[in-house]
Amino acid sequence: MRRLLLTIRYDGSAYHGYQVQSNSITVQEVFQDAVEKVFNSRLNVIGCSRTDSGVHANMYCITLDTDMSISPSNTVLALNTYLPDDIAVYDCKEVSLDFHPRYCCKSKEYVYKIYNGKYRNPFCARYAFWYRYSIDADYLNEEAQAFVGKYDYSGFCSVKSDVDDTVREIYSFDVWREGDYVYFKVVGDGFLYNMVRIMVGTLLFVSEGKIKSGELKDIILSKDRARAGKTAPPQGLYLNKVNY
């Protein structure tokens, strides 16, 4: 038996997240369909994370077990033949049988992308959140440092979250501007349901003056979802990197 680690990227616009659902099309379902055609069996594929409906991934890792001797490079070519244009495999390698794409992960990096132009841009609609009000990226970068550290982030997750442990460690949080785009990059040991989108929404409340400068730390420690900001829309969010 061999365990293959596949690295993919996908446009999440047409999917209700990664994980298989009974009544909605997902990335996992479509990927399993392609795997079945290549390996002549509906193999169990295990992903590194859940992603929400409409969220994208620049790097997403999946494992599958097979007895077939197909090479990693041919696996990439074969899967891409059957995958739709919005999902692509770009790496494959053999790993040990005890490797798990989720539990062996040391950290994840997410990027949230805002189009901060004055007028709506139809070419950005699926890949960035249009926010028309001016953003001072340097100011938000300073405020975002309040997130860095190990805290109970129960005030920064959706009520749909069903995890018992809500403590997470954020290693870095950077905000910067490139032309009309503002980027939010956060790296941590793990993230709760909607956590990054709520962090970004909270920083936008800071930008709007609804949350005062220096108040973020107290909001985090309060563990009160009502004190944090709105949940930013999904289309601006990318799972950018998974570190093992």
Burial of 69 (0-12, 13-18, 19+ CB in 10 A): exposed
Q: Which of 11, 33, 52, 164 is catalytic?
A: 52
Domain spanning 107-243 has what CATH number? Answer: 3.30.70.660
52: annotated active-site residue: yes
Averaged confidence pLDDT in the chain = 94
Q: CA angle, 154 as apex, 152 and 159 as ends, to 5°?
A: 165
Using CA of residue 15, residue 16, residue 19, residue 25, what is the dihedral sign?
Answer: negative
User: For position 23, what pLDDT does the model report?
Assistant: 83
pLDDT of 41-62, one tens digit each? 999 999 999 888 999 999 999 9
Determine the Cα–Cα distance for residues 114 and 131; give it in Å rounded to an integer: 7
Has residue 230 got a pLDDT over 90?
A: yes
Q: Where are the domains positioned within the chain?
A: 2-95, 107-243
Provide mean pLDDT across the span 125-132. 95
pLDDT of 75-84, one tens digit each? 999 999 999 9
User: For position 73, what pLDDT does the model report?
Assistant: 95
User: What is the assigned CATH class of domain 2-95?
Assistant: alpha beta
Q: What pTM was computed for the model?
A: 0.94
Cβ atoms of residues 183 and 222 within 8 Å: no
- Label residue 160 by pLDDT band (50, 70, 90): low
2-95 and 107-243 share one fold = yes
Provide mean pLDDT across the span 129-152. 97
